[in-house]
Amino acid sequence: MELRLGDRAILVDCGLFQGSRTLETLNHGAFGFAPASIDAVVLTHAHIDHCGLLPKLAAQGFDRPVWCTPATSDLLEYMLADAGRIQESEADRRNRRRDRAGESRFEPLYTEEDALNAWRLTHPTPLCQWFDPAPGFRARFWNAGHILGAASVEIEAAGMRLLLSGDLGPINKAFHPDPLSPTSLDHVVCEATYGDRAREKLTIEQRRTQLEAEIKEALSRGGNLVIPSFALERTQELLLDLAKLADANRIPNAPIFVDSPLASRATKVFAAHASELEDMGGEDVFRHSSIHYVEDVAESIRLNAISGAIIMAASGMCEAGRIRHHLKHNLFRRDSTILFVGFQAKGTLGRVLLDGAQRVRISGEDVNVRARIRRIDSYSAHADRDELHSWIRARGPISGSLFLDHGEPEAVAALRTLIQADDPAASIIAPQIGEVYALEPGKPARRIQTGRVDMEQLSGLDWQNDYADFITHLKQHLGRIRSERARREALAQMRRVLDAYREAKQHQPAKCQPAKCQPAK
């Protein structure tokens, strides 16, 4: 989000779009501003959907401070470097694919060097300490209770007090105290990730009991328990609970493999900040004898031959990283279990699996889904609907507007309805990418520029999801046709349909396309 005052401008966060391939293409578009014109970035936390475009910003001319908490700065060194390596390796993989023959070369969004250059711009600043990110702006961080180093941002500018929530954590989350922020504000921007969902409220002990039951059931089947896990925070929470359960002899004596170099590095940052964390009990639980950190690729490949293990790997939504490798070798096994412990965005492989897919396509290969698919919500790092509602009410009075963002359309709409019921006259806005608002003290925001009207369509499943589903089932459907001749005729009919559609589109008269605002991150 860009905040502009006269000829000065700051960004609050600069993150990657995540979800379907169509949505991710927005990452390659131009910024809605000149990167060199930005005076500073104020960063709420180190998750890639909040910081993942910083390397692109720096590569295109931004060289000013990135203000963040000390823990966020420590994490960014590894998070951004890993993101750069992923961008480079993904570009190499796409360029090697045979079905791209004759196409132009695919360039990475940014490199590992770009990422480290962005990290070097960080200015670590403690919670509750005022700083001046740019002339005319004054800001300070408040604990958001989401992940290590995560913060909400209070900003004073032009006689107004603004608050941007960043991502908010749930009540009674491991490691962190509950979120805390100021009250009596002019304008508030609040996330709405779980704006349409109320979770069962569990204590940490109840959560461990839930995990214990899943582990026992999974390992009793004889296969592996594979957990797609976000490298940052989710992995560390799981390791804390696994160590406690193992020490109490509440789970089988199974090896626990953390197959994510990024998770291993992030865990070291957690250990370095142990004095700031709750629930650690003075122990280094991350060095438990049952936990094995997998660093090199050869060791990761050797896990293909084992059974009866707990394997944790990133990414949490199964869109990249070593988890896809482990899914390829476990999804077809009836004795294995895949346990999801985090949010799965529409269009991601994780969401497709949770929605009941029987076949999926991973790295160009079709994989039958025979493994047991499970999910528990008690490890979410996000506040749920009721907790978001309570947090917003506690910020009052809000004399201007409340903006709801960072949520799928259904989640934003549900939270908006809930809050509007408290005060039908309240100004509640669900902004689109590219929209511009004028803010004044004590008055509702005024929209002065429209944004992208197609974002709701982009946030869900796209044609590439449909294609992957179609192609994974195509051979199976053709196999049900009795004769070779009939199968060939079916394929010929499909080709004729595609050819007819292409020819019809080519002969349509050209239509004027309205100008679209570039997405501003």
- Residue by residue, DSSP assigns 17-61 as --SSHHHHGGGGSPPSS-GGG--EEE-----HHHHTTHHHHHHTT
Closest-CA residue to 129 (of 99, 153, 157, 113): 153
Q: How many folded domains does the chain comprise? A: 2
Residue 514 has pLDDT above 50, yes or no: no
| Residues 211 and 306 grouped into a single domain | yes
- Which percentage of the chain shows pLDDT scores above 70? 92
Amino acid at 282: G
**Which CATH number belongs to the domain containing residue 364 in this structure?**
3.40.50.10890
| Span 401-419, average pLDDT | 95
Q: Is the dihedral of CA 237, 242, 245, 247 positive or negative?
A: negative
Q: Running DSSP on this structure, what letter comes out for residue 100?
A: G
Domain membership of residue 506 (yes or no) is no
The interaxial angle of helices 112-119 and 70-96, nearest 10 deg, is 170
Going by C-beta distance under 8 Å and a sequence separation of 6 or more, which residues neighbour residue 37? 9
Is residue 173 within 8 A of residue 145, CB to CB? The reply is yes
Looking at 360, 375, 390, which one is the last position of a domain?
375
Looking at 342, 375, 408, which one is the last position of a domain?
375
In this structure, the number of other CB atoms found within 10 A of the CB of residue 448 comes to: 9
Tell me the CA distances in angstroms from 198 to 360, 377, 387, 410, 454, one per residue in order: 30, 10, 8, 14, 28
State the pLDDT confidence band at 518, using cuts at 50, 70 and 90.
very low
State the pLDDT confidence band at 519, using cuts at 50, 70 and 90.
very low
| Residues 388 and 351 grouped into a single domain | no
**Which CATH number belongs to the domain containing residue 422 in this structure?**
3.60.15.10
| Span 343-359, average pLDDT | 90
| Residues 215 and 336 grouped into a single domain | yes
Q: Is the dihedral of CA 151, 152, 158, 161 positive or negative?
A: negative
194 forms bridges with which residues in the sheet? Answer: 384
Give 129 or 498, the one with higher predicted confidence: 129
| Residues 192 and 220 grouped into a single domain | no
Q: Give the angle 29-60-107 at the CA atoms, nearest 5°.
A: 55
User: Average per-residue pLDDT in the chain?
Assistant: 90
What distance in Å separates the CA atoms of residue 5 and residue 8, rounded to the nearest whole number? 5
Domain membership of residue 118 (yes or no) is yes
Amino acid at 322: R
Domain membership of residue 502 (yes or no) is no
State the pLDDT confidence band at 100, using cuts at 50, 70 and 90.
low
Structural domain for 345, as ranges = 204-375
What distance in Å separates the CA atoms of residue 430 and residue 387, rounded to the nearest whole number? 19
| Residues 246 and 193 grouped into a single domain | no
| Residues 230 and 354 grouped into a single domain | yes
- Side-chain-side CA neighbours of 282 within 13 Å: the count stands at 0
Domain membership of residue 480 (yes or no) is no
| Residues 333 and 399 grouped into a single domain | no
| Residues 166 and 247 grouped into a single domain | no
pLDDT in tens, 63-89: 999 999 999 999 999 999 999 998 998
Looking at 406, 433, 458, which one is the last position of a domain?
458
Helix (H, G, I), strand (E, B) or coil at 187: strand
Q: Give the angle 427-188-32 at the CA atoms, nearest 5°.
A: 95
Residue 265 has pLDDT above 80, yes or no: yes
| Residues 129 and 83 grouped into a single domain | yes
What distance in Å separates the CA atoms of residue 51 and residue 65, rounded to the nearest whole number? 14
Helix (H, G, I), strand (E, B) or coil at 445: strand
What distance in Å separates the CA atoms of residue 465 and residue 19, rounded to the nearest whole number? 10
Domain membership of residue 447 (yes or no) is yes
Looking at mean pLDDT, say which of 193-202, 218-227, 375-384, 466-475 comes out highest: 218-227
Question: Which pLDDT score is estimated for 37?
Answer: 96
Domain membership of residue 34 (yes or no) is yes
Q: Running DSSP on this structure, what letter comes out for residue 62?
A: -
| Residues 29 and 173 grouped into a single domain | yes
Domain membership of residue 508 (yes or no) is no
State the residue for tokens 């203000």: 67
What distance in Å separates the CA atoms of residue 242 and residue 214, rounded to the nearest whole number? 12
Question: Which pLDDT score is estimated for 320?
Answer: 83
| Residues 182 and 223 grouped into a single domain | no
Give 321 or 472, the one with higher predicted confidence: 321
Residue 363 is encoded by which pair of tokens?
């790295």
pLDDT in tens, 423-475: 999 999 999 988 999 999 999 999 999 987 666 555 555 666 677 677 767 77
| Residues 147 and 34 grouped into a single domain | yes
Torsion, CA 478, CA 481, CA 482, CA 485, rounded to 10: -70
What distance in Å separates the CA atoms of residue 177 and residue 239, rounded to the nearest whole number? 19
State the residue for tokens 């077809």: 332
Give 13 or 23, the one with higher predicted confidence: 13
Going by C-beta distance under 8 Å and a sequence separation of 6 or more, which residues neighbour residue 461? 20, 346, 347
Domain membership of residue 391 (yes or no) is yes
